[in-house]
Chain A
Amino acid sequence: MPGFQNFLVMVLGEPALRDDLLKMPDLPSLKARVLELSRERGIEIGEEELDTVIRNNRRSWLERWADL
């Protein structure tokens, strides 16, 4: 499982971690916080991986009208 997916599972399972990340006011701060907290937890995530996730989420949202 890629590093981000591991971290995402932690975010789902740890309300305190989620709430910490929810406080971030913008994407650059959020990404920096994710990189910091994931490092602390021994999960390797690169900024590029985060950018890919964000890009994919945006694309998926724009394509939602194609849902049946």
Chain B
Amino acid sequence: MGGPVSLRFDGWIPFRLFWQGGQPGVEWLYLGNRRLTEPFFEAAVQTAVQTPFNSLFRFRTPAQALEDWHSTSPGLKPSGFIFHLSRCGSTLITQMLAALDGSVVLSEPGVLDRMIRSHLRAPQATETQRIDWLRWLVSALGQPRTGEERHLFIKFEPRHILDFDRIRSAFPDVPWVFVYREPVEVLVSNLQKPSALVTRGMYGLDAVTADPELAGVDDDEYAARMLGIVAEAAVVCASQSPGGMLVEYRELPDAVWRRLPAQCGLAFTDADIDRMKSAAVFDAKQPSRRFEADTETKQRHASERIRSLADRWIRPAYRTLEKLRS
């Protein structure tokens, strides 16, 4: 559907990206004034897409419609970006922020991931074009829905730290955070319940697929190496790019109300902090369960080999991050 320029998309949100002739387009569904409070964007979409209305009234538009909507209704300017190593408390941060009515939190939207990696589907496009696409999409995703929202936060997927330059070019002034955790604990978690990042063939970190050595390593080492690549990329970003803040898992949840306000220009009230503390009581990824600290369990489950892999592939970058944090 081409869509006349005058179309308004109030209440609609792009949830999928498609490509046609080297140009992106998006598919929209209707969210109305529903806030995104689920741990992940895809969970909200999964629910919304099944309503009777959205079963019938979804539509696709070319990127031009995103540009037009961006001009008409720019949406909220992002207040903060959250990058992370995976399994290190980033979802806790987003769930705490989502507890505030004034926040729009986009937690790893798949549609954003596809746009960030536009070079794979539109290799002929210029970097300027890609950056514009990214801005227009974030603008459409970050529309206020209730009228109370003042801040937009985006949590990216772990691998997106490798796309930091593109994201930074699109949003040069947005403060950012990188969250990480002790390497053995991150690796154990990723092996117990493999994330997309460490699942061979599922995710394809662009930067490493060309490494022929990876084909010969076992899954444990593959996971350690992937996590190491993300951690090393974070070291580069933290060293070279201003505006970043490093958060170690041990600092959570307090860092959200103690350090984030200064970093992102926020002013939390006592009531805000109480709401965030209440949200932190629950397991961020399964909010119906209470949070249980698992540091000791994860350390106990680590075999000598896992420790050795974590030490070799992740710990050097972790140490540097810790130095930079202090």
Is B52 close to A, CB under 8 A?
A: yes
Is B120 close to A, CB under 8 A?
A: yes
Nearest chain B CB to A52 CB, angstrom units: 11
Question: Is A21 a contact partner of B110 (Cβ separation < 8 A)?
Answer: no
In the assembled complex, the Cα of A68 lies from the Cα of B117 at a distance in Å of 9
CB contact list, B23-78 vs A, under 8 A: 27, 30, 32, 49, 52-53, 55-59
Is A42 close to B, CB under 8 A?
A: no
Question: Is A8 a contact partner of B121 (Cβ separation < 8 A)?
Answer: no
In the assembled complex, the Cα of A64 lies from the Cα of B4 at a distance in Å of 27
Question: Is A61 a contact partner of B52 (Cβ separation < 8 A)?
Answer: no
Interface residues on A, range: 20 to 34
In the assembled complex, the Cα of A64 lies from the Cα of B59 at a distance in Å of 15
Question: Is B114 a contact partner of A68 (Cβ separation < 8 A)?
Answer: yes
Nearest chain B CB to A7 CB, angstrom units: 9
Nearest chain B CB to A65 CB, angstrom units: 9
Nearest chain B CB to A9 CB, angstrom units: 8
Known: A13-B7, A18-B30. A61 touches B49 (CB 8 A): yes
Nearest chain B CB to A43 CB, angstrom units: 14
Question: Is B59 a contact partner of A68 (Cβ separation < 8 A)?
Answer: no
Is B17 close to A, CB under 8 A?
A: yes
A8's nearest neighbour on chain B, judged by CB, is B59
Known: A18-B30, A64-B16, A68-B114. A24 touches B55 (CB 8 A): no
In the assembled complex, the Cα of A34 lies from the Cα of B56 at a distance in Å of 10
Chain A positions within 8 Å of B210 at CB level:
none
Nearest chain B CB to A1 CB, angstrom units: 9
Chain B interface (Cβ within 8 Å of chain A)? Answer: 1, 3-4, 7-12, 16-18, 27, 30, 32, 49, 52-53, 55-59, 110, 114, 117, 120-121
Chain A interface (Cβ within 8 Å of chain B)? Answer: 5, 8-9, 11-13, 15, 18, 21-22, 24-27, 29-31, 34, 50, 53-54, 57-58, 60-61, 64, 67-68
